[in-house]
């Protein structure tokens, strides 16, 4: 049976908010579509492009910036490197001129209001997040390609579903937590060491460590930026940013000048429980306020849940004496593997599983990563992940106005706190007496996802989205 090989860099991706499945995924799909046209020498024969959005992408696409992401992807911008301060201007120019430069090379007529169609009542069977690109050519031919954004920035092209398994052969194949325990028992290695050995199938160990530290750097920059940015979030809900205000309350006498001196000032405030709790919330709020503002974030494993792991990592480096660069790498490697087995055994897409698939998974990832970083055993790390997800089961995805703001931003604070609590419970427990395994809770999450009404799967048609009446602009 073919094994699906998922790298830590599949779980942790640098991108632009507000959503991995509704922003980053469609962006990548647009890039793939245009790349194919370019590499088959058809790009300069294109006369028109239309985009059809189905299901959840149609219902909450505007609020999640799906239309913006598609235009940027067709234009040739990359979410990792694009100047985020230029996005508004780029989109405004396309809308005003009604022109799009495909791949940054070939100009065509393009009206976003006409050429991006929201098919609110239509859905494709493979996945709720579906989009089709239609390109017209000078000779009258038409090319159609359909993509599915399956969560966490992962994209599958129609017809490739059966070829999704990666051909990379890993020394320690893992599809479940039982597989993790098997390899740990066999080798005596930690979870992070097992994962690092697997990463060697893709690249040298030094490159993996360098890449993970680059991911951590983006998380740090995003957290610091979010803690120093005030104002109102875009989209029409008029949600006030809170992280900067909380940062000022917690550090009334500002002595710092950069990220490192900021952490020094935070540590100087002590280890009072309430103080630490406020900072964990502040860290999480800051990242997801940046995410809601089309800022640069890291999927962990998704954009909507991007604040949980940075918040817990900042708790670790700020308040835990065990913190070191090597421990940070252990945290990230362990967390990524937990995200991977959730993707294989269930889903990391809110459109498929509700918010348990995003905040719940990120909380489980953070709990396991923190447990290993604090010296917990392999079984304690898996126990922490199980505890964190067990208490997110059934969590719905009901974004008001289809925006990744209410209740999404606050949910990241809850996920971070639950991860820390789950870690502490696991460290003070004996896994031998646990009645629920991580594999059992992953299966239960998937069962719950399949039973959950579509209204609570990122459609903005149930829950808070239905009970908080609002009026948002059309664009």
Q: For 124-144, what is each residue's pLDDT tens digit? A: 999 999 999 999 999 999 999
Q: How confident is the model at residue 471 (pLDDT cuts 50, 70, 90)?
A: low
Q: How confident is the model at residue 110 (pLDDT cuts 50, 70, 90)?
A: very high
Give me the mean pLDDT over the 323-341 stretch.
97
What pLDDT sits at residue 151? 87
Q: What is the pTM of this model?
A: 0.91
How far is 345 from 337, CA to CA, in rounded Å?
12
pLDDT tens digits along 202-236: 999 999 999 999 999 999 999 999 999 999 999 99
Q: How confident is the model at residue 470 (pLDDT cuts 50, 70, 90)?
A: confident
For residue 166, pLDDT over 60 is answered with no
Q: What are the beta bridge partners of residue 157?
A: 147
Q: Report the share of the chain in percent with pLDDT over 70.
A: 97
Lowest mean pLDDT among 153-167, 279-293, 353-367: 153-167
CATH topology of domain 18-161: 60s Ribosomal Protein L30; Chain: A; (3.30.1330)
For residue 161, pLDDT over 70 is answered with no
What pLDDT sits at residue 2? 52
CB atoms within 10 A of CB 10: 18
Q: How confident is the model at residue 474 (pLDDT cuts 50, 70, 90)?
A: very low
What pLDDT sits at residue 231? 97
For residue 3, pLDDT over 80 is answered with no
Q: Kindly report the average pLDDT of the chain as a whole number.
A: 94
What pLDDT sits at residue 164? 45
What pLDDT sits at residue 165? 47
Q: CB within 8 A of 229, min separation 6: which ones? A: 241, 243, 244, 289, 290, 293
What pLDDT sits at residue 4? 84
Q: CATH 3.30.1330.90: which residues of the chain?
A: 18-161
Residue with tokens 């219902």: 59
What pLDDT sits at residue 136? 97
Q: How confident is the model at residue 244 (pLDDT cuts 50, 70, 90)?
A: very high
């Amino acid at each position: 049976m073919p094994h699906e090989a998922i790298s830590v860099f599949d779980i942790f991706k640098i991108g632009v908010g507000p959503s991995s499945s509704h922003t980053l995924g469609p962006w990548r799909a647009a890039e793939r579509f245009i790349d194919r046209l370019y590499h088959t020498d058809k790009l300069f024969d294109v006369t028109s492009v239309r985009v059809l959005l189905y299901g959840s992408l149609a219902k909450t696409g505007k609020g999640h910036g799906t239309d913006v992401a598609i235009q940027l992807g067709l234009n040739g911008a990359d979410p990792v490197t694009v100047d985020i301060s230029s996005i508004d201007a780029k989109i405004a120019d396309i809308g005003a001129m009604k022109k799009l430069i495909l791949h940054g090379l070939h100009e065509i007529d393009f009206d976003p209001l006409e050429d991006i169609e929201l098919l609110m009542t239509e859905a494709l069977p493979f996945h709720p997040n579906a989009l089709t690109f239609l390109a017209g050519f000078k000779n009258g031919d038409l090319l159609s390609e359909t993509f599915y954004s399956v969560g966490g920035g992962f994209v599958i092209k129609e017809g490739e579903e059966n070829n999704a398994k990666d051909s990379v052969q890993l020394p320690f194949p893992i599809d479940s937590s039982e597989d993790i325990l098997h390899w740990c028992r066999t080798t005596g290695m930690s979870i992070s060491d097992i994962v690092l050995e697997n990463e060697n199938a893709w690249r040298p160990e030094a490159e993996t460590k360098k890449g993970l530290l680059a991911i951590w750097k983006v998380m740090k920059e995003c957290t610091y930026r979010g803690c120093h940015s005030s104002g109102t979030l875009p989209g029409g809900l008029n949600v006030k940013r809170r992280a900067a205000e909380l940062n000022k309350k917690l550090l009334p006498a500002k002595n710092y000048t950069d990220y490192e001196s900021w952490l020094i000032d935070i540590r100087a405030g002590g280890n009072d429980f309430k103080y630490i709790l406020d900072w964990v919330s502040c860290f999480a709020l800051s990242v997801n306020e940046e995410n809601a503002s089309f800022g640069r974030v890291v999927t962990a494993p998704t954009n909507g849940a991007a604040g949980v792991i940075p918040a817990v990592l900042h708790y670790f480096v700020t308040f835990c004496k065990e913190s070191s660069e090597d421990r940070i790498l252990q945290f990230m490697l362990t967390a990524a593997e937990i995200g991977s087995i959730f993707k294989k055994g269930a889903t990391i897409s809110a459109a498929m599983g509700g918010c348990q698939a995003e905040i719940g998974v990120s909380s489980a990832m953070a709990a396991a990563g923190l447990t290993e970083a604090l010296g917990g055993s392999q079984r304690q790390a898996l126990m922490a992940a199980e505890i964190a997800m067990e208490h997110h089961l059934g969590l719905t995805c009901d974004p008001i106005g289809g925006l990744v703001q209410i209740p999404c931003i606050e949910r990241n604070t809850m996920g971070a706190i639950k991860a820390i609590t789950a870690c502490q419970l696991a460290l003070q427990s004996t896994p031998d007496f646990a009645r629920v395994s991580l594999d059992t809770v992953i299966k239960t999450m998937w069962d719950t996802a399949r039973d959950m009404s579509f209204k609570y799967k990122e459609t903005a048609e149930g829950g808070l989205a239905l009970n908080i009446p609002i009026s948002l602009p059309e664009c």
